[in-house]
Amino acid sequence: MASTLKRIFSDKTFLFTFVLALISLIFGTVRASDIDLKTILALLSLIILISIFEILGILKYFAAFIIEKCQNLRQVALVVLLLSFFGSMFFTNDVAILTLVPIVFNIDRKVKLPKIGLISLMTIYANLGSAITPIGNPQNLYLVSYYHLKLLDFFKLSLPLGLVSLLTLFLCALLFSKKAVSQLENKAFSIKKQELYLLGFTTLIVLFGVLALIPVWISLIASLFCAYLIDKKVYKQIDYGIILTFINFFIIVGALGRIPLIHDWLRQLMSTDISIFFASLLSSQVISNVPAAVLLSKFTGQLSPLYLGVTIGGLGTLVASLANLLALRQYQLNVKDQSALKFFGVFTLLNVLYLSIFIVIGLLFLK
């Protein structure tokens, strides 16, 4: 318990958002409903599940398998980016990051990768890929429900952006070196049948919870029970800091939305497609795109500019998307050096570049 508390209170991201949450309470009010309990429980379930995969050595095996099938670094990067892009469509961008970043670090231990750049690009393409399906990220689920959108109408909105995103992915992969990857023998991997069946069943339950097909608390109970049966050390490895950080963000957004000055300003601002697009894009940079979608949907009936704004708005700052914060956290958990600042610099640079490009693309779509 003491070591867990020490990790939480040495977490700079948590401490920073905690201070912001306290300040926001001075100017606005917060309700219990502001904290999206479904998101919190889904995230906790995912973190527990990935920890189990790590302890059993499944991620290391998968990393070795990727290396075994690829001939050079460019192919490794392309496979990882495609997994991030397409995986996020069906399993959400958060799941893609939580699953793939540890795999990248496992690959890096065998074959040196430009991991900061690769993880940054993985996160960008997880955000872009997740925008293509209604279940790819929380804001899509919310917008489809709020605007009562039919599936076909949603795909008419999302597929053009998705195709452009996929094209940029292949172009981006060309920037990676074609340096040959030495073929490493994949060590034999063994897992007890009972553990395999239990983990497979738990994975399905967790994904069903994330996709809102079953109550999310069932997913949490399933992941906790699976950890208990396989290895109780998982409980000590859970990243409680990121859970508390998400709660801080919900508090901040709830308080901001009830400040009269901000409320009135947003009502006046959301008047044209262009203003809606930039309002949702810019607010995503500050409060994250999921809360931005929830907040701004109350002020407009125009879905297209709002969808484009919060989707493209997931690029940019670390807080623009919850997946961005997860990428930083996964990086911090896997490195022993002090390169978090370097990660922040490269991540921000690439995100601002992509943000600039996709702002132009978004404006062309609106035209």
pLDDT, tens only, 21-56: 888 888 777 777 777 787 788 778 877 887 787 777
**Confidence band for 163, pLDDT divided at 50, 70 and 90:** very high
171: tokens are 């172009």
Confidence of residue 306 (pLDDT cuts 50, 70, 90): very high
Task: Provide the pLDDT for residue 364.
Answer: 94
pLDDT of residue 262: 74
Q: What pLDDT score was predicted for residue 104?
A: 85
Provide the 8-state DSSP code for 34: G
Mean pLDDT of 278-292: 86
- Mean pLDDT along residues 161-186: 84
Mean predicted confidence (pLDDT) in 238-259:
77
**Number of H-type helices and E-type strands within the chain:** 18, 0
Instruction: Indicate if the pLDDT at residue 189 is higher than 70.
Output: no
State the pLDDT confidence band at 288, using cuts at 50, 70 and 90.
confident
> Which amino acid type is present at position 98?
L
Instruction: Tell me the two tokens of residue 162.
Output: 């998705």
pLDDT of residue 182: 66
Going from the C-alpha of 52 to that of each of 58, 223, 364, the distances in angstroms are 9, 9, 45
Residue 185 DSSP label: P
The token duo for 322 is 């919850």
Task: Tell me the pLDDT band of 162, cut-offs 50, 70 and 90.
Answer: very high
Q: Which residues contact 289 (CB under 8 A, 6 or more apart)?
A: 139, 280, 310, 311, 313, 314, 320, 321
Q: In this predicted structure, what is the pLDDT of residue 300?
A: 79
pLDDT score at 73: 85
